[in-house]
Amino acid sequence: TLTAYLFQVLLLLPGVLREKGLLGRLALLQPDQLTSLISDLSGLLEELNPLHADTHTQLTLDRLAQALQVSMAAGALLCSREDLRALCSRLPHNK
Taking only the tens place, the pLDDT of each residue in 69-94 is: 887 877 777 778 888 888 888 888 77
Domain boundaries of the chain, sorted by first residue: 2-88
Query: 5 pLDDT band (50/70/90 cuts)?
Result: low
pLDDT at 95: 67
Residues in Cβ contact with 94 at an 8 Å cutoff, skipping those fewer than 6 apart: 57, 58, 61, 62, 65
Q: Is pLDDT above 70 for 23? A: no
Q: Is pLDDT above 80 for 2? A: no
Q: Which residue stretches of 1-95 are H helix?
A: 2-19, 31-46, 53-74, 81-88
pTM: 0.68
pLDDT at 24: 64
HEC secondary structure over 16-32: HHHHCCCCCCCCCECHH
